[in-house]
Amino acid sequence: MNEFLITIVFIIVLVFSVYSYATYLTKSGKAEDADGNFIPDAWEEKFGWFFSSKGIIMLILGIILGYVLGILFPYI
């Protein structure tokens, strides 16, 4: 179960890093963002589904993380 926890935490960090880097690129002006949603237009064309479902992805990952932590540490 610890391997599963490590995998979930790694996925959460990876997804958060992608969202943060997209915001950094658009705020610094290194990537073009025509519609002002802090996602580079080139990324939106290729991975639009990933950025449009950001809330659902983070919700699911948070629920899974909470469930795994609840199983590993039931008395905290």
Q: Which pLDDT does position 20 carry in this prediction?
A: 94
- Percent residues over pLDDT 90 in the chain: 61
Q: Which pLDDT does position 26 carry in this prediction?
A: 93
Band the pLDDT of 10: cuts 50, 70, 90: very high
pTM value?
A: 0.80
- 65: buried, middle or exposed (CB in 10 Å: 19+, 13-18, 0-12)? middle
With vertex at residue 9, the alpha carbon angle to CA 46 and CA 64, rounded to the nearest 5 degrees, is 90
**How many domains is the chain partitioned into structurally?**
1
Q: Which pLDDT does position 5 carry in this prediction?
A: 87
* Range of the structural domain that residue 46 is part of: 2-72
